[in-house]
Amino acid sequence: MISTILIISGALWAIYYLIGLYNETYWKKRGVKFYMKHKVFGPMGEFLTSKRALFEIFDDIYKMYPKEPAVGVGSMLTPALYVKDPLNVQHVLSLDFNSFNHRGFETNEGDQLGDNVLFMNGNRWKIMRQNMTPLFTATKLKSMYYILDRSATDFVNYLNQKPELLKKDIFHTLTTFCNAAIGAAVFGVGNESIFESPFLAMALDSMKPSTIRNIQFAIASLNDRLFKLSGIKIFKKHEEFFISAIKQVIRKREAENVKKHDFADLCVGLINKGTLKDHDTGLELLPTDEILAAQAFFFFLAGSEPSASAIFVTLVELGMNPEPLRRVHEEIDNAFEKYNDTMTYDTVNEMEYLDMVYNEALRMYPPIGFLTRQCVKDTVLPNGNIRVSKGTKIFTPIFEVHHDSTLFSDPEVFNPDRFSRENRHKLPNNMYMPFGEGKRLCIGVRYATLQVKAGLVHLLRNFTVKTHVGKGGIKYSKQNMQVRPDNVNIELIPRSLKN
């Protein structure tokens, strides 16, 4: 028995050693430095066995190899490359899109809610993206703004009625606002109270980190075949509730025959249109209730947690920087006075300093820390003349770039003025990318920005903010993609406004 265990252990160790040696040799032959820590599982292995966010591990690699245009990392037997150089990053995300248009992740067949524009690839993604984009035009957003404004006003009233919420778990409270706002503005879902949305628990649960979720993410990232064989359906538990709910929204809108210029209208239009076609390839996609529900699922998740994070980190920095806080208060107060306490889409977009504050907060704390892609055809990265073969997993930095002193001066200093009209030309070209870059830029970025600003305008009109940071400075929670300050909370303090 003991000898059998020893033989099996020895065989497993030998396999582990050989896989690590293969990964190291693979990149050395291509003239690429290899990250020697966790040669088999790479950053993902380090993530699973530590308490750190995955982006923090990539940040270590970024700093460890300051002169390298890219670094090979372990990913079992799948070649994986961490691309660092700005030109190479742009090559992956934008310039050579035909070689890197794959998101680097695919949900398994039958994971119905995962069949959305975020995880779709190839021409199916192209068709869906083209048909979802009209939901977020300037005209549509302008027509939605009054709903966002009302949600933000209701949110302030809610906080005034429940003052105990002003000092505890502000992030969760902000998530309830964002969930209600996107439910009302994009889906036409209303409730007597904006904080009793039936979708809130689902959104929170879907984004909540857990050991099981991290393992599922790791398997998907490390080995496509193993993920397929596992049959993991990441969003299965929410299918029955969410697909049924969206079907009801669509059927109700069909029966009402009223245009509200929201997602439900778009769904009805696509259903009436019939089969969606890619004219370049002839690929066809039927807009079933299930596929449309999957797109709704993505929009709900993207409009809830990441938007709440954007509001939260903006308030975090304002609560530690009195002068920017004073300036943004002044701009907001002046706007309300100028327009007789009425806030509109155009008014929000006029607020230059608010925009500067928002952009700087997202530079310091982008919603996600890095991007993933997968090479779909053999190509070469220009800086370093690095050969990249089909099937290679690609990681590109966001947080690391935003905090690189060679790209952004004094990157750890909150300085909204770096985004002023006078200074924008000094920013590195295409290296500010809190919502991604290239053709796979977040489809809802304009909506998310508007929703966040609506929330900030009404919160800062009525409250000032004080930030409380734990010992040792800001730390981050263990997240596979997100950038989430963990030991920080905000205190909202009612303002005494002059009448």
Q: Give the tokens for residue 468.
A: 């409380």
| Alpha helix segments (H runs only) across 257-377 | 263-273, 289-318, 322-338, 345-350, 352-364
At residue 309, the 3 state secondary structure works out as: helix
DSSP state of 95: I
Alpha carbons 219 and 491: distance in angstroms, whole number: 39
Count other C-beta atoms under 10 Å from residue 178's C-beta: 28
Whole-angstrom Cα distance, residue 267 to residue 246?
10
Structure-token match 């599982």, residue found: 41
User: Can you tell me whether residue 220 is helix, strand or coil?
Assistant: helix
CB atoms within 10 A of CB 95: 16
Distance CA 480, CA 368 (A): 9
Which residues, in sequence order, are CB contacts of 398 under 8 Å at separation 6+? 55, 366, 368, 369, 370, 371, 433, 434
Enter the DSSP assignment of 108.
P
Distance, CA of 477 to CA of 89 (rounded, Å): 26
Residue whose token pair is 């190291």: 24
> What pairing do the DSSP bridges indicate for beta strands 379-381 and 276-277?
unpaired
Name the residue among 71, 136, 92 with its Cα closest to residue 376: 92
First to last CA, the chain: 84
Helix (H), strand (E) at residue 380: strand 379-381
CA distance 444 to 430: 19
**Is 442 marked within a binding site?**
yes
Q: How do strand 284-285 and strand 276-277 relate by DSSP bridges?
A: antiparallel
Phi, psi of 302 (to 5 degrees): -65, -30
Buried b (16+ CB within 10 A) or exposed e, 316-339: bbbbbbeebbebbbebbeebbeee
**SS3 call for 170:** helix
Strand order through the sheet with 370-374: 33-34, 70-73, 80-83, 393-397, 370-374
> Which residues participate in the annotated binding site for heme?
442
> Which residues participate in the annotated binding site?
442
